[in-house]
Amino acid sequence: MSVRMLAQGWLVLEITDSPFWVGSVAGLQGLGLLVFGVFGGTIVDRYDKRKVLILVHCLSGVLAVFTGVLVITGMVEVWHLCLIVILQGALMGTQLPATNSLAYNLVGPGLLLNSMATRLLAMNISRFIGSLIAGVLLSSFGVGSAYIFAGLSSIIALVILLFITGQFRDVSGRENFFYSTQQGLSYILNNRRILGLLLLSLLMEMFGFSHLIMLPIIARDVLGVGAIGLGLLSASSGFGSIISTLFVAGLGDFDKKGMLLGCTALCAGLSLIMFAFSPWFAASILLAAIVGGALMSYDVTIGTIIQLLVTDSMRGRVLGVYGLTFGFTPIGGFVAGIIASLMSVQIALGLGGMILSLFIAARFRFISSIQQPENE
């Protein structure tokens, strides 16, 4: 996924030479996730999660290879990418809740924080390596090779899922599909803590994680370091994420999860402001690691808290809506692209970091007060 996302931003920048289109294409991926996210969670609650993931990874890999072929043959156009990213977003709307709820099924509530951290640790190790690979592929062999690599990796990776055994289908499969979806939304709207956490997730995705979409512009136009520099910036973010997930995994069944959530979210917002206005590549490398580490610690913690707060029968549907907030990452990229076109990419990212910092500071008491789940 890391190779594919870097290739996508670089390809759009090559075709259009426009920060607006870099953000717009990413925004369409978010639109696909938003439209399909709620239904993706219902699918996860109705069908075997492992089989759903196998199908999703297979389709995602095929789309990436197809994109690579379009690039290599010189046939790719922006409208092709727009359609492809919408489909990728829809697939992510199912992949995210399926992966998270499968982790819960495998380890249970007591080891969930450790499990989420360890899984994200693996993801960030691959992101670190993948970012370096992407930089080399983009610089030496072109964007098409990066897409082919990403697609084949996705298809090969699904084989690992065949070795996970067990029954991963919940009882809601007997309910009417749309009634089941409605029940999930009603459950969320009547749970103040879940609703507050989902709002936090929406803002963190829109103004925090979305900075990754603007990395190609930061690398080429602000720091002047090209594709190799882009790979190093992304790898540095991945390295910071590795360190932070190791730290969270070592906490065990940590009681003060709400405090951890508030502190890491606030750190992400403040460090993003500094990253946005850094004119030096070395400083940007360090700050990218800090931003990535803070965001990943936040990500592990909020995903754990949400799963612990919900009932087993609602987990997939709530995670589907939680995954839907991930669609605001590319939408945030779209907004950042507009601001970058009108003013500058530094102002776009700095403004996002400021909004996050002010919101989290205002809501810090509520966020930090969320501890172990109450019986509901």
- Which structural domain, as residue segments, surrounds residue 212? 2-164+173-369
| Res 13: pLDDT | 84
Concatenating the DSSP letter of every residue in 204-268 gives HHHHTGGGGGGHHHIIIIIS--HHHHHHHHHHHHHHHHHHHHHHHHTT-S-S-HHHHHHHHHHHH
Counting the structural domains of the chain, the total is 1
| Res 358: pLDDT | 94
Task: Specify if 12 maps to a domain.
Answer: yes
Q: Which residues contact 91 (CB under 8 A, 6 or more apart)?
A: 56, 59, 60, 63
Task: Specify if 15 maps to a domain.
Answer: yes
| Res 4: pLDDT | 85
Residue type, 239: F
CB 122 within 8 A of CB 101: no
Task: Specify if 85 maps to a domain.
Answer: yes
| Res 375: pLDDT | 42
Query: Which domain CATH number covers 93?
Result: 1.20.1250.20
Q: What is the mean pLDDT of each run of 10 residues along the chain (376 residues)?
A: 83 84 79 72 73 85 91 89 87 77 72 73 80 84 90 81 71 53 69 83 86 85 85 87 80 73 90 91 92 87 79 68 75 84 89 92 84 49
Residue type, 45: D
pTM: 0.68
Helices 226-249 and 2-16 sit at what angle, rounded to 10 degrees?
150
Task: Specify if 375 maps to a domain.
Answer: no
Q: How far apart are CA 178 and CA 141, in angstroms?
A: 47
Task: Specify if 374 maps to a domain.
Answer: no
Task: Specify if 376 maps to a domain.
Answer: no
pLDDT, mean over the chain? 81
Task: Specify if 159 maps to a domain.
Answer: yes
Task: Specify if 84 maps to a domain.
Answer: yes
Q: How far apart are CA 3 and CA 345, in angstroms?
A: 22
> Within 10 Å of residue 139's Cβ, how many Cβ atoms?
15
